[in-house]
């Protein structure tokens, strides 16, 4: 459970807070300093070609409590935050060795900082923080300063346990991104994927940075196509656990699995609608693979495609008004677009003879897909009108299953290297490819990026 | 012949025993007669038992032959040859049709069997599309077997897409093997 109270003045000992801490024994966040309205002002358009990385300094956090810092939390706060911000690709973090400030004298509030110490080493932004620990409990304050203007940009205070240090860092990294770019970034997201070991496969989840691997299913069967519900509480998937490829939902908090559709033939899981009320499916119950939309509450099905060829792999446009999908109707698999009621079907991809797995970007501008190029599958993107065709990956072993991050700035996909398939991430412009998860004895495929929500 | 020798042998054995018995208690005539009767009766019993055993043996032999034939049928059932497909195709090639005709002949002869037709793909292309393609491949076999006279009710299709490759290697040879319909012959539908 997690509470966010906005906006409130910093009153750490209000009754509400005490009760919450007692009831949840978990992380509680509260804005404690609303003196400077950070929201609304976007510093720099990071999508602009002229964008230069933010130069930021993150000195070690100050122990402002009376207990000794036995676990070197001081450095862990700054190091973790440095790591998080680096992952975005939008920050240049200044080396601690270059710092001029006498940290034993300087404080963490605006009045006790000489911003010249920071501007003179090239920092545009400064993150300062303090913490206190008491037994298992950990309290931390984070402050982001605009060095050039010598002003506080945003500040937060978090209550939690020592184990939650990373969550506090993630939360504040998210605030930094929001303040500087107008969007929260992907810090509070996860990626579900399929881990394949021999003949069985299961769903696993990792954080956006590849950490904290959790195994979700143990079905001793084939498990496929995980898709997040909009609230991030459930996953839909297809599994052969009862023989036929049926559709299931799993509740991530309870682990309870429920069979949702078990028609004859394929019951393939697809994405949840932007409003969370519907889910796209591929069913072959009528003797031919067709795309259906199901009202989750009423379990009502509506068939959207009517073509004797294979129709499969639907994806919603972010406004829910259109659906891109794959069809073999033109002789080979190609991406098509239709209205969400199945009308107005038109072909989107013409380049290449095998294009599948479309994924519509959350900002609506582009559709990513996998296509065959020189005998290998690579990730491409194209705009809705079929223009601005772009090849994003050029990996020898091939890349498949693109999935956008909720801010549309990254794509997760699976890529084969040295005979093993791993989960990778790339910026939407094709730069900065990196491996997010690889594991001995397991192929990691079919990533599905979660929506942004409060996981913690 | 064998039986006679056995009986004679037994009689000799019995007689020699009775001789010893007689010489031991010559006065007890009644006992001797009874003993003789008993011995004769025993001999007859032995003959019947042997006949029964023979019949049993014959039955057993027949059962064994039937079992052997059944085993052979089961072996045939287990050895249903896969059919192969071209990349991204689900139409039946002439050699596939030939194999399916053999399967149909066998199924028409052995009506107690049913078939699960598994459609498989190679690893290339999206898993989702391959599930659909695998289903098309399984359906293609099923449809053809029906046109050859096999009752539709005996055929079940399932697609495993690219999930269960026969050969997990990543080359043309493996892919060719993996693009297949596999036939699981069962005595009752699973």
User: Tens of pLDDT along B134-184?
Assistant: 999 999 999 999 999 999 999 999 999 999 999 999 899 999 999 999 999
B92 in a domain, yes or no?
yes
B54 lies in the same domain as B110: no
Asked if B178 and B108 sit in the same domain, the reply is: yes
pLDDT of residue A121: 95
For residues B62 and B153, state if they share a domain.
no
Q: Are the Cβ atoms of B126 and A356 closer than 8 angstroms?
A: yes
User: Would you kindly state where each structural domain of chain A is located, as residue ranges?
Assistant: 3-181, 190-449
Any domain includes B125: yes
Could you report the per-residue pLDDT of B114-138, keeping only the tens digit for each? 999 999 999 998 999 999 999 999 9
CATH tag, A190-449: 2.120.10.30
Q: Does residue B159 belong to the interface with chain A, where contact is any CB pair within 8 Å?
A: yes
The answer to whether position B34 is within a domain reads yes
Q: Do B190 and A284 touch (CB under 8 A)?
A: no
Closest CA to A291 of A300, A304, A309, A279: A304
Q: Does B88 score more than 70 pLDDT?
A: yes
In a domain, B72, yes or no: no
Q: CA-CA distance, A353 to A110, in Å (whole number)?
A: 60
Shared domain for B62 and B11, answered yes or no, is yes
pTM of the model: 0.79
Of B132, B164, B190, the CB nearest to A312: B132
Question: What percent of chain B has pLDDT above 90?
Answer: 54
The model's confidence at residue B78, banded by pLDDT at 50, 70 and 90, is confident
- Whether residues B88 and B182 share a domain: the answer is yes
Please compute the mean of the pLDDT values over residues A268-279 and round it to a whole number: 96
Residue B74 inside a domain? The answer is no
Same domain, B133 and B180: yes
Q: Residues B126, B88: one domain?
A: yes
pLDDT of res. A1? 24
B17, part of any domain: yes
Are the beta carbons of B127 and A268 separated by less than 8 Å? no
Choice between B56 and B16, residue whose per-residue pLDDT is larger: B56
Whether residue B36 is predicted with pLDDT greater than 90 in this model: the reply is: no
pLDDT at site B11: 47
Do B136 and B165 fall into the same domain? yes
Report yes or no on B167 lying in a domain: yes
Q: Chain A partners of B124 at a C-beta cutoff of 8 Å?
A: 372, 377
Concatenate the DSSP letters of all residues of A223-279 into one string.
Answer: EEEEEE-TTSSEEEEEE-TTSS-EEEEEETTT--EEEEE--SS-EEEEEEPTTSSEE
Eight-state DSSP code of residue A98: G
pLDDT of B79 over the 90 cut: no
* Average pLDDT for B96-108: 96
CATH number of the domain that B132 lies in? 3.30.1330.60
pLDDT of residue B6: 57
Question: Is residue B95 situated within a structural domain?
Answer: yes
- Taking residues B59-71, report their average pLDDT: 89
Residues belonging to chain A: 456
Instruction: Give chain B's domain count.
Output: 2
Residue B67 pLDDT > 70: yes
Chain segment A125-177, per-residue pLDDT in tens: 999 999 999 988 999 999 999 999 999 999 999 999 998 998 899 999 999 99
Answer yes or no: do B92 and B61 share one domain: no
Predicted confidence (pLDDT) at residue B15 exceeds the cutoff of 80 = no
- Say if residue B45 is in the same domain as residue B124: no
Quote the percentage of chain A above a pLDDT of 70.
Answer: 88
By C-alpha distance, which of B3, B5, B37, B4 is closest to B18?
Answer: B37
- Of A110 and B90, the structure prediction assigns the larger pLDDT to B90
**Do residue B105 and residue B142 come from a single domain?**
yes
* Alpha carbon B114 to its chain's center: 15
- Chain A interface test: which of B117, B131, B172, B175 (most A C-beta within 10 Å): B131
Distinct helix (H) and strand (E) counts, chain A: 4, 32
Enter the ipTM.
0.82
CATH match for A3-181 among 3.40.50.10070, 3.10.20.740, 3.40.50.150, 3.40.50.300: 3.40.50.10070
Kindly determine whether residue B124 and residue A377, on different chains, have CB atoms separated by under 8 Å: yes
On the 0-12 / 13-18 / 19+ scale of CB atoms within 10 A, A114 is middle
Closest CA to A192 of A216, A170, A174, A166: A216
Q: Where in the sequence is the domain holding B39, given as residue range(s)? A: 2-67
* Whether residue B179 sits in one domain with residue B90: yes
Could you report the per-residue pLDDT of A88-99, keeping only the tens digit for each? 878 999 999 999
Q: Give the per-residue pLDDT at A384.
A: 94
């Amino acid at each position: 459970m997690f509470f966010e109270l906005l906006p409130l003045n910093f009153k750490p000992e209000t009754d509400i807070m005490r009760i919450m801490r007692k009831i949840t024994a978990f992380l509680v966040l509260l804005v404690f300093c609303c003196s400077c309205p950070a929201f609304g002002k976007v510093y720099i358009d990071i999508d602009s070609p002229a964008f230069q990385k933010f130069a930021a300094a993150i000195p070690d956090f100050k122990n402002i409590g009376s207990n000794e810092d036995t676990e070197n939390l001081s450095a862990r706060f700054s190091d973790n935050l440095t790591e998080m911000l680096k992952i975005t690709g939008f920050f240049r973090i200044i080396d601690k060795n270059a710092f001029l400030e006498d940290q034993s004298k300087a404080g963490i509030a605006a009045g006790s900082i000489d911003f010249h110490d920071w501007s003179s080493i090239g920092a545009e932004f400064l993150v300062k923080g303090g913490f206190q620990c008491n037994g298992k409990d950990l309290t931390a304050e984070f402050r982001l300063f605009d060095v050039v203007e010598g002003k506080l940009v945003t500040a937060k205070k978090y209550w939690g346990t020592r184990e939650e240090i990373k969550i506090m860092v993630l939360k504040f990294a998210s605030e930094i991104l929001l303040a500087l770019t107008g969007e929260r970034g992907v810090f509070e997201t996860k990626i579900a994927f399929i881990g394949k070991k021999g003949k069985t496969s299961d769903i696993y989840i990792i954080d956006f940075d590849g950490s904290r691997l959790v195994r979700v299913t143990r079905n001793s069967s084939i498990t496929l196509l995980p898709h997040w519900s909009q609230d991030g509480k459930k996953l839909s998937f297809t599994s052969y656990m009862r023989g036929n490829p049926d559709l299931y939902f799993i509740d991530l908090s309870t682990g309870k699995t429920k069979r949702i559709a078990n028609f004859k033939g394929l019951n393939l899981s697809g994405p949840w609608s932007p409003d969370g009320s519907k889910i796209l499916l591929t069913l072959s119950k009528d003797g031919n693979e067709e795309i259906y939309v199901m009202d989750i509450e009423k379990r009502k099905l509506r068939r959207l495609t009517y073509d004797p060829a294979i129709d499969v792999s639907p994806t919603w446009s972010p406004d829910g008004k259109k659906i891109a999908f794959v069809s073999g109707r033109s002789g080979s698999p190609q991406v098509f677009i239709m209205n969400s009621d199945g009308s107005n079907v038109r072909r989107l991809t013409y380049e290449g003879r095998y294009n599948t797995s479309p994924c519509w970007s959350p900002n609506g501008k582009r559709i990513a897909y996998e296509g065959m190029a020189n005998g290998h599958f690579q990730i491409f993107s194209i705009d809705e009108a079929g223009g601005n065709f772009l090849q994003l990956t050029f990996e020898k072993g091939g890349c498949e299953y693109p999935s956008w991050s909720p801010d549309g700035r990254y794509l997760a996909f699976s890529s084969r290297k040295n005979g093993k398939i791993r989960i990778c991430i790339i910026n939407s412009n094709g730069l900065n490819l990196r491996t997010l998860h690889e594991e001995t004895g397991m192929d990691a495929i079919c990533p599905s990026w979660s929506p942004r929500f409060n996981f913690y | 012949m064998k039986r006679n020798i056995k009986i004679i042998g037994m009689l000799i054995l019995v007689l020699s025993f009775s001789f010893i018995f007689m010489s031991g208690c010559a006065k007890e005539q009644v006992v001797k007669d009874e003993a003789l009767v008993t011995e004769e009766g025993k001999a007859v019993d032995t003959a019947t038992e042997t006949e029964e055993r023979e019949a049993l043996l014959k039955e057993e032999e027949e059962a064994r032959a039937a079992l052997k034939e059944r085993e052979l049928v089961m072996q045939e059932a287990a050895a249903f040859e896969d059919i192969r497909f071209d990349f991204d195709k689900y139409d039946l090639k002439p050699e596939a049709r030939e194999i399916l005709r053999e399967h149909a002949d066998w199924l028409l002869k052995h009506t107690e069997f049913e078939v699960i037709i598994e459609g498989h793909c190679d690893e290339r292309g999206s898993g989702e599309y391959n599930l659909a393609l695998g289903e098309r491949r399984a359906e293609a076999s099923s449809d053809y077997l029906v046109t050859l006279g096999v009752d539709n009710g005996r055929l079940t299709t399932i697609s495993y897409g690219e999930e269960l490759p026969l050969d997990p290697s990543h080359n043309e040879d493996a892919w060719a093997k993996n693009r297949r319909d596999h036939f699981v012959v069962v005595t009752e539908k699973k």
